[in-house]
Amino acid sequence: MVIYFANHKQTFSNKHSNKLKMKNIVKSIAIAAVAVIGFSNSTFAQATATASASANIITPITIVKTVDMNFGNVAVSAVNAGTAILAPAGTRTTGGAGGVTLPATAGTVSAASFTVSGQASYTYAITLPSSCTITDGASHNMIVNAFTSSPSATGALSTGGTQTLTVGATLNVTAGQFSAAYTNATGVPVTVNYN
């Protein structure tokens, strides 16, 4: 009976050992298969391409004032208001209620003039102010508005990268406007930007 038990134990031991060996073989095969699949996926699941980066730096746009705006000598009626209209070409006309005349002694008359510089042959947008106030330095003022320019709205730089920009406007004069020299100390802003 002891012998039989010993043999049975040995047989059980052999069977158990074979099962363990089989399990180890199956595990090894499974690990190897996972490794192969993982390696395969990491090898074939991605692709790489390259693109170059580039930029073109252009000349900044600038604007420099060369001539100030001046309406010249303006005569005013004691009872009627009026306007003096300065064209970008530097010529004057009158308007409004008819209270303004332009004497033969014109004084200094000039549209504002600017030199715009930048990248050759580029176009640019022109932004003019809506209005400004000129004063005699005391309590007397006049409004300048309706600004116009040449070129109008959009300019085009030459092949040398420059263009002259001239600006005119309308001077609004009240009836009996105080006699004095009027000016705008802060200037009139004209802005240019590349299109």
Residue 150 belongs to what H/E stretch? strand 141-150
Q: Are 162 and 119 in contact (CB under 8 A)?
A: no
Q: Are residues 137 and 153 in the same domain?
A: yes
* Domain coverage including residue 21: 1-54
The per-residue pLDDT for 49 is 97
Total-model pTM: 0.76
- Measure the CA–CA gap between 21 and 59, rounded to whole angstroms: 79
Same domain? 33 vs 71: no
Whose tokens are 């049975």? That residue is 8
**pLDDT confidence of residue 3:** 46
Note whether 98 and 129 are same-domain residues: yes
Residues 178 and 139 in one domain: yes
Q: What is the pLDDT of residues 57-112, one digit of tens each?
A: 999 999 999 999 999 999 999 999 999 999 999 999 999 999 999 999 999 999 99
Asked whether residue 67 falls in the same domain as residue 21, the answer is: no
pLDDT tens for each residue of 18-65 = 666 767 776 777 676 655 565 555 557 899 999 999 999 999 999 999
pLDDT in tens, 1-22: 444 444 444 554 555 566 667 6
